[in-house]
Structure 1
């Protein structure tokens, strides 16, 4: 009896000792609809991966959480940079006492960030072996950096040790960047998650697999990672103390968030559990059960959550919050200009591509796929981004009659089965690349229906999202409906998608047009102005005339958060805001 009593007493003491620890752990549960692609910022470009990198790494600048329109603020920098030389000289001062997350590479010592790390990080984007999709942020901008990259293409080795004229380490806490010309928007480049500062010894130690060993200074570090299934982020023990402090202005939603969060030490959440849930229905049901804390409403379920643009009463009664914005993004069709069947500048090939775009029924797309949660777009630059033009009139609006006339005129006659053949009589089939979700299957049906209207045979190439990105960069995707969301609120961020040198990076169209490139390069030397807008118009029209792309829609982003989530607000630029949130303790997450 005494033995039993001692055991019970020991168990009781153990439970008393453990319970406070368990109670203190705060976990945020979220989901991605597509897989991540690895966590080396220089090599990534998809939104889900950027959301994770936003938490693992820190760039010099970032965006104010509550300010609208988006406003730059310091992150790793101690203050906003000093800008001189008519916008060509940028001097950054780093915060002191900022350390990378623990890693065996550091041999048990805390590794502080210095200006040398900033220079190394920027150099990596121009190293040809990295094939960075975000090279465009620095390309042609920093004195001596393009020349260093050109040298590496010849020698096969990028020289990280010899100083670059435009990247000057003044002392451990100050770095000065000399640009080739005036660029008052350079700060936006320095605010991107991909510009998260890395340590050279980490990159070199894991040279064979840097994507699996992210070591940054962010509020979180990578915990357990099951590729394409689950990502766990855990609090970085080396993270400095940051205090939640933002001005709410007159916005009542912001004022509510300030009341919830003002003065709290960041991050409040100990662990972030990210599940890859490709099927929208599964994510929707998980949120309804309280198993997910935040959910972007899948388009097909928006009628169940919304009445018009308002949250349905039954969700309001549960304390669910709705955040709703127009995405600073475009959905756009592209055709691979190097594809043997659809590519090339022969008049018949241009006519075929334009006919395909004319057959795309965007109204049906918004109704069937987006469930009304999108707006029609015709211009490559979306609302809320400098250079946008809501009045632009596209040449490629839905017009299957004109599409059929084009195909008839250029010799694409119909065979006995009603489907068209190539002008030389060979078979003609349009292959559309898409993902594996139920929504992708719906999209296949809409695409097939659109192409059937003009007698083009349809086939679907189904791939996982990382494989789609890989195929795009190898110019192996024939036709796809893709999307791009603003990394920063300027038109250059969108127009670069068709720049010739960005082939195998962001130019999934694999479009090579010296005249287009020449006009685009002119825009890079201009501020937001009518002159630049005129050039953007010429670029947009040229894409339509040659059948390179067709802009389709901009989505409405509807995000639900559970009542126990504190501080949540959708941000138009930041890919994730988890470090600004808190969760109230809740023993039972079911409604």
Structure 2
């Protein structure tokens, strides 16, 4: 009786309090984060996308069982939709996840007016989608590397029979044990399985509701519906994305575990601990590909944040490495960290121009690398905001070594010309351009974009190639179009950046792994010796033996040169006085829920 009275009283108090809360919300200015992407998005289906900027959006819409602590450095996993960290047994071959009850998807017509709770089966379904041949997921090769028992057989059956993928077929390796519990069983030991599959930005981690996918069909890229802190409110393709606070988002508060000696992290924790997430109401992301208007937009107060300060303006914003006085006066803060990324010139190994494994074709790629002055690129185009890369692995990941030195660090145009001469890449008709060893014309076509940064890099690279007598032709298109061409193998070369998705450097080496051809392996590199090293690496625990395999893999990549490895960028983000709580993520993409907007400090128009 007392319990019933207490419940009734609580309900009455909630009803009485509701108008006051609504009035307070209505009377205060909405907190809006505004910034711009330098590259257009491709869509918002986690199973179909592979580009960074689309993933930034989906990382805030879809929920993974686990997430990274926002303040711990370099990284620490914590539960997200999971009740606790998963139970791990059988030598890292069995993982049991328990999902928190009472988590709901954002409202959507697909649910026909009903609240839709997140259940274990949603994660089972979302992972299965990556294996559905119809989805053509670029994440399939890397997910299959994890060896979830039974999923590949289900995919093979669909491919062989031509029938639709059987989502209702239960498999031993991925099974919902009850409404809130699912189990993962792997063929082989995978000590890093959690980082590879079940953390926020991963292709399979974000739970999708089956009825939403079936409701929207081929339009699912336009209709992301998740349980995360934000929901897509408006989208103008390649122009603007607007996200709003998800009204159904669970009761989540700011909590973190920064290192004891982390002064900045401890200050942020003290300021925000216990605050309800997300702290902002709305996020407006524009697409501004040209650096100058993006920079001016920030200076004019139209954006509260500029991610990755364009290199062209580094001298203006950070003269002598310090924030310019006029920006300090405005309350602007600079966040400067080494990026866990690498730039790559991708050679299509199936291209008759630059591909192939014969000594002559290898010599061409190695000559291009030797003749490319990366130090000049760092000084002129990147304004000193980068360091030379020596391998595929990125800073802060396993396998990266700041002391490693490879031929990727060598600039030697004389040696490059001698190599070309030795293997028959010579100028036979005296027009100043080298021909192929068989005497046919040689033109190297490179995909590129129209933004100012790309133009600067293109100009420097073309000068390097001109000096070698190699004719370079530039093909300009938008970034998503170039990605599509690269994934389908319809290209010769393309310059691209790659950022680490997890603390393990093996993810970077997937770009050379044969089964990932056309997906992560844009170079379409196929070499059994490399694949064997890669596969051994997957099963070993972290330690000296596994680190030795990183060295072995690097030697193979440098020898065959499917990529010309460029630089690790130094990243500088700027926040205006209104944006508080920002700290650049390392391996994760979701951060909007951890920042606040001080509306009293917004720049007046």
- Band of TM-score, shorter chain: over 0.9
Compute the TM-score of the two structures, normalised by the length of structure 1. Answer: 0.94
The answer to whether 1:37 aligns with 2:48 is no
Give the counterpart of 2:264 among 241, 253, 259: 253
2:349 touches 2:523 (CA, 8 Å); kept in 1? yes
**The residue matched to 1:111 in structure 2 has which SS?**
coil
1:131 touches 1:505 (CA, 8 Å); kept in 2? no
Give the counterpart of 2:423 among 388, 410, 424: 410
Q: Give the 3 Å change call, closer, same or farther, for CA 485–587 of structure 1 in structure 2.
A: closer
Give the counterpart of 1:215 among 216, 222, 225: 225
> What is the aligned-residue RMSD (CA, Å)?
1.7
Alignment of 1:99-114 (within 5 A): 99-114=104-119
Q: Give the 3 Å change call, closer, same or farther, for CA 563–260 of structure 1 in structure 2.
A: farther
Give the counterpart of 1:336 among 320, 345, 348: 348
Alignment deviations for residues 346-386 of structure 1 (CA, whole Å, 9 cap, x no partner)? 22111111111111111011112211011111111122101
The aligned residue for residue 189 of structure 2 is 182
Quick check: 85-94 or 259-268, which moved more? Answer: 259-268
State the 1:137 CA deviation: 4.0
Alignment of 1:509-528 (within 5 A): 509-528=523-542
State the 1:290 CA deviation: 1.4
2:234 touches 2:243 (CA, 8 Å); kept in 1? yes
User: What is the number of equivalent residue pairs in this alignment?
Assistant: 575
The answer to whether 1:553 aligns with 2:558 is no
2:397 touches 2:503 (CA, 8 Å); kept in 1? yes
Alignment deviations for residues 381-438 of structure 1 (CA, whole Å, 9 cap, x no partner)? 1221011122322124211111100111111221322111112221111111111101
**The residue matched to 2:214 in structure 1 has which SS?**
helix
Give the counterpart of 1:162 among 158, 163, 169: 169
Alignment deviations for residues 120-157 of structure 1 (CA, whole Å, 9 cap, x no partner)? 11111122222222224421421112222222221233
Counterpart Cα distance in 1 of 2:578 and 2:455: 35
1:516 touches 1:542 (CA, 8 Å); kept in 2? yes
**The residue matched to 1:201 in structure 2 has which SS?**
helix
Alignment deviations for residues 271-323 of structure 1 (CA, whole Å, 9 cap, x no partner)? 10000010111111111111111112111111111134432233222211111
2:141 touches 2:519 (CA, 8 Å); kept in 1? no
Give the counterpart of 1:282 among 267, 276, 293: 293
Alignment deviations for residues 553-578 of structure 1 (CA, whole Å, 9 cap, x no partner)? 10111111111112111111122311
Alignment of 1:489-500 (within 5 A): 489-500=503-514
Give the counterpart of 1:59 among 60, 64, 70: 64
The aligned residue for residue 5 of structure 1 is none
2:59 touches 2:589 (CA, 8 Å); kept in 1? yes
**The residue matched to 2:502 in structure 1 has which SS?**
coil
2:105 touches 2:118 (CA, 8 Å); kept in 1? yes
State the 1:515 CA deviation: 2.1
Give the counterpart of 2:199 among 184, 191, 197: 191
Compute the TM-score of the two structures, normalised by the length of structure 2. Answer: 0.92
The aligned residue for residue 375 of structure 1 is 387
1:434 touches 1:480 (CA, 8 Å); kept in 2? yes
The answer to whether 1:117 aligns with 2:89 is no
Quick check: 312-321 or 93-102, which moved more? Answer: 312-321
1:23 touches 1:585 (CA, 8 Å); kept in 2? no
Counterpart Cα distance in 2 of 1:132 and 1:537: 30
Counterpart Cα distance in 2 of 1:321 and 1:492: 34
Counterpart Cα distance in 1 of 2:40 and 2:177: 41
Counterpart Cα distance in 1 of 2:463 and 2:23: 60
Alignment of 1:221-232 (within 5 A): 221-232=231-242
Alignment of 1:237-252 (within 5 A): 237-248=247-258, 249-252=260-263
Residue segments in structure 2 that go unaligned for 5+ positions in a row = 1-21
The answer to whether 1:292 aligns with 2:273 is no
Alignment deviations for residues 502-556 of structure 1 (CA, whole Å, 9 cap, x no partner)? 1121111011122221221111111222222222222222122223112211011
The answer to whether 1:395 aligns with 2:407 is yes
Counterpart Cα distance in 2 of 1:131 and 1:515: 27
**The residue matched to 1:484 in structure 2 has which SS?**
strand
Q: Give the 3 Å change call, closer, same or farther, for CA 271–22 of structure 1 in structure 2.
A: farther
State the 1:475 CA deviation: 0.7
Q: Give the 3 Å change call, closer, same or farther, for CA 309–572 of structure 1 in structure 2.
A: farther
